Amino acid sequence: MPDTFGRAEFEKAAAYIRARSAHRPTVGVVLGSGLNPLAEEIAQADVIPYEEIPYFPAATVEGHVGRLLLGLLQGMPVLVMQGRVHYYEGYSMQQVTFPVRVMRTLGVHTLILTNAAGGLNPAFRAGDLMLITDHINLMGMTGLNPLRGPNDPALGPRFPDMSKVYDPGLRRLALRVAGELNIPLQQGVYIGLAGPTFETPADIRFLRLIGADAVGMSTVPEAIVARHGSMRVLGISGISNVAIAEADAAGEASHEEVLEAGRLLVPRLTALLRGILAELARQQP
């Protein structure tokens, strides 16, 4: 499999998906670790395993199913990724973000990114939802930017603006819907690390110091590529564990803990996403 792609590959994958489903979604949803049960609620779903889509990266981590679903949620045609791939799995940044390019090629203009994240903000508890207001691209600052390499101006600009990655209108909508449904919704800055190691207590103190509220191993590359292609992005983290900032503290971070918290987070996240999609359906022309 090539580790960089261009329009020919995006078109080929998009054509394959178009041939497998009559749905023409304009909203995409990426479901993060342990959050994928939402996909079971999609009506009239066409289900395509990632392996069958040309060039699509296959999910390798427990808790990531690896299927694309096209169907209806709250009457809104959606394209849902049940599981994503991460850089730490050995994929290039272009492979990690390939599905976002394909969504854009398919006409998706609104992308909802979800993830499981560690809480850095001392006010956060496991089971909280956090609306992402902004991100820190720590992996990109050290060279792992998905836009590294030749730029195709037909896809987006060489130096894309990142001053409003998480669409202000979508954020207002999410806050309003959460308020109406009585779903507690924290807000904060997500910081993306490459993983797969969890952070040391010293890492955690550093991440807090530089202004991050939640830490994870995904989302940032996808949000960057989506913005490069002028998509509107909404990001929601499910706080699956609170980060440990003191050396020698009791307790350890584990993937099982992340998946277990996902089970608690799913009902809240599902209700919030349903509410948001119902509003987006109402705003359709």
Q: Which helix (H) or strand (E) holds 82?
A: strand 76-82
* Closest distance to ligand HPA from the beta carbon of 216 (Å): 4
Number of residues that bind ligand HPA (CB under 6 A): 13
Shortest distance (Å) from residue 55 CB to ligand HPA: 27
Active site residue 89: yes
- Half-sphere exposure at residue 93, Cβ-oriented, CA atoms within 13 angstroms: 21
Query: Judged by CB under 6 A, which of 79, 85, 174, 217 binds ligand HPA?
Result: 217
Q: Is residue 255 among the annotated active site residues?
A: yes
Residue 215: CA count within 13 A, CB half-sphere: 32
State which residue, 243 or 277, has the beta carbon closest to ligand HPA. 243
Identity of the residue, 216 or 275, whose beta carbon is nearer to ligand HPA in the bound complex: 216
Contact yes or no for 234/171 (Cβ under 8 A):
yes
Cis peptide before 196 (omega within 30 of 0): yes
Q: Which of 189, 215, 224, 231 binds ligand HPA (CB under 6 A)?
A: 215
Instruction: Quote the DSSP letter at residue 253.
Output: -
Assign 192 to helix, strand or coil: strand
Site for ligand HPA in 251-270 (CB under 6 A): 253, 258
Stretch that binds ligand HPA, among 3-11, 38-46, 124-132, 236-244 (CB under 6 A): 236-244
Decide whether 243 or 280 has the Cβ nearer to ligand HPA. Answer: 243
Collapsing DSSP to helix, strand or coil, 187 comes out as strand
- What is the Cα–Cα distance from 173 to 36, expressed in whole angstroms? 23
Q: Are 59 and 258 in contact (CB under 8 A)?
A: no
Supply the residues annotated as catalytic: 33, 64, 86, 88-89, 116, 217-218, 241, 255
Instruction: List residues near ligand HPA by CB under 6 A.
Output: 116-118, 198-199, 215-217, 240-241, 243, 253, 258
